[in-house]
Amino acid sequence: MQYRFKNARILTMEEGRQIFKGEVWVSDDKISFVGTDSEAEQRLSEISCSWDREIDCAGDLIMPGFKDAHTHSAMTLMRSRADDLPLDEWLNKQIFPVEAHMTGEDCYHLTRLAVLEYLTSGITAIFEMYLTPETIAAACRDTGMRCVQTGCYNSFMQSAELVEDMYNKLNSPEDPLNTYILGFHAEYTSSPEVIDKMAALAHKYQAPVYTHLAETAAETKGCVERYGMSPVKYLSSRGIFDYGGGGYHMVHVSEDDMEIIKEKGLYVVTNPGSNSKLASGIAPISDYMKHDIPVAIGTDGPASNNALDMFREMFLVTALGKLREEDASAIDAMEVLKMATVNGARSMGLEDCDCLAEGKQADMIRIDLHQPNMQPINNIAKNIVYSGSKQNVKMTMIRGVIRYEDGVFNIGDDPENIYRQAELIKERIDKTLV
Ligand SMILES: [Zn+2]
């Protein structure tokens, strides 16, 4: 399909480029033009163009889609099922028993449920970690969601063989929506043997590795007791990060850890909603920024958040950062937007989805500015981060296909069917657990 978005405000997220009025053109899966109104006029006088659809944006904003850089989509099943509990009780008594009964087919339907929510939040790519990578990939392929998966291998589930198999299978050019990055669940769930096998894979493929890292004070303390080192230092000492990668959460880190993170070129994926709800702590985002360490943003799974909502995460990144530093100037809105788009894409290996430019993937959203929470238009970036919400997402496009527009989904199934499937899975597992 060929699209022309005209009469738009455009935020490309290219370094140093301000919001301008102009046009974005899409040809199949790619952006074929981004420019001002006069540049568009000039281009039109040089070449002949025809569009399947011309969209008058009426001054709305077109920008890159948000990248949810850490999630466990199929945990939609556990949303609002086990809340207001201490972390260990939540995990061991509520989450693990349910997961023990989840099938690959369950994960397929529950991931599709999550995709509906991602689309309403302007999320065009997810960095996913969960139980059954092949059915999760199928769910994303069928709904049109861009998905980068990583392994949740640990001493109790998955294997190095599965991680390697998925790394080779899901990085096929025939399936452009699905890719796979090496990863394992966490230091505290993984024996030294698991860690060594992952390090061997990192070396074999000269590839980055991701994991849950330094999420809680107890995790960091436990690692020091086990190995005499913080999780960041321990994993680095085993060669896990010799080809880069990063960590999800990264709340409890020392100055020494910061040096290692910087030296290894790691990405920090912060999850402030989950960290707040599970009382894990506030990540030192300002310190990461001072060290020039790139930060991306994730929702974490819907059991621990419970919303897959990037607007809420963006607000929390800056609000908690300001609170932590006791400094209202900490972490400005444009920096947060960069984390939610450019840094997210790069952490996920999606170099061609980071900003709006000719030749990049057409993964973009339209933000409705004709809503009370966006008026008056003093500063659009600040409006998005401080007063914006899902109600402002008018359209979500992935690989040049509009998957959500004006409240209507284009994901190959009726949302009501997906809700019904989730309800059936819930009822079946409830019966098993009684
Ligand atoms: Zn997680």
389 CA to middle of ligand 1, Å?
23
Q: Is the pTM above the cut of 0.95?
A: yes
Half-sphere exposure of 249 (CA within 13 A, CB side): 27
Tell me how crowded residue 105 is: count the other CB atoms within 10 A of its CB: 13
289 CA to middle of ligand 1, Å?
22
Q: Bridge-partner residues for 365, per DSSP?
A: 63, 396
305 CA to middle of ligand 1, Å?
10
Same-domain check for residues 52 and 75: no
In 3D, which of 394, 413, 358 has the Cα closest to residue 120? 394
Same-domain check for residues 389 and 325: no
For residue 230, the domain's CATH number is: 3.20.20.140
288 CA to middle of ligand 1, Å?
20
Same-domain check for residues 92 and 224: yes
* Longest CA–CA separation in the chain, Å: 70
Same-domain check for residues 59 and 155: no
Pairing of strands 2-10, 20-27: antiparallel
185 CA to middle of ligand 1, Å?
8
The pLDDT confidence band at residue 216, using thresholds 50, 70 and 90, is very high
Same-domain check for residues 36 and 110: no
In 3D, which of 151, 183, 328 has the Cα closest to residue 266? 183
Cβ 124 vs Cβ 146: under 8 Å: yes
In 3D, which of 66, 147, 163 has the Cα closest to residue 112? 147
* The pLDDT of residue 146: 98
Distance (Å, whole) CA 340 – CA 338? 5
Residue 344 placed within a domain: yes
234 CA to middle of ligand 1, Å?
20
Distance (Å, whole) CA 12 – CA 262? 27
Cβ 136 vs Cβ 147: under 8 Å: yes
Same-domain check for residues 388 and 327: no
Mean pLDDT of the chain: 97
70 CA to middle of ligand 1, Å?
6
The average pLDDT across 27-43 equals 97
For residue 372, the domain's CATH number is: 2.30.40.10
Residue 434 has pLDDT above 80, yes or no: no
Boundary of a domain, candidates 300, 321, 348: 348
Hey, is 277 helix, strand or coil?
helix
426 CA to middle of ligand 1, Å?
21
Same-domain check for residues 46 and 174: no
The pLDDT confidence band at residue 6, using thresholds 50, 70 and 90, is very high
Residue 103 placed within a domain: yes
Here the tokens at position 197 are 């096998």
Residue 299 has pLDDT above 80, yes or no: yes
145 CA to middle of ligand 1, Å?
19
Same-domain check for residues 267 and 385: no
In 3D, which of 347, 427, 361, 356 has the Cα closest to residue 71? 347
Same-domain check for residues 235 and 178: yes
Domain that holds residue 373: 2-64+363-409
Residue 425 placed within a domain: no
pLDDT digits (tens, 9 = 90+) for 49-91: 899 999 999 999 999 999 999 999 999 999 998 888 887 788 8
Same-domain check for residues 49 and 81: no
Q: Which residues of 163-200 are buried (b: 16+ CB within 10 A; e: fewer)?
A: bbebbeebbeeeeebbbbbbbbbbbbbbeeebbebbbe
Same-domain check for residues 192 and 90: yes
Residue 404 Cα distances to 49, 119, 394, angstroms: 25, 6, 8
Q: Which residues contact 199 (CB under 8 A, 6 or more apart)?
A: 209, 238, 239, 240, 242
Residue 150 placed within a domain: yes
126 CA to middle of ligand 1, Å?
12
Q: Which residues of 388-418 are buried (b: 16+ CB within 10 A; e: fewer)?
A: bebebbbbbbbbbbbbbbeeebebeeeeeeb
Determine the residue type at 143: T
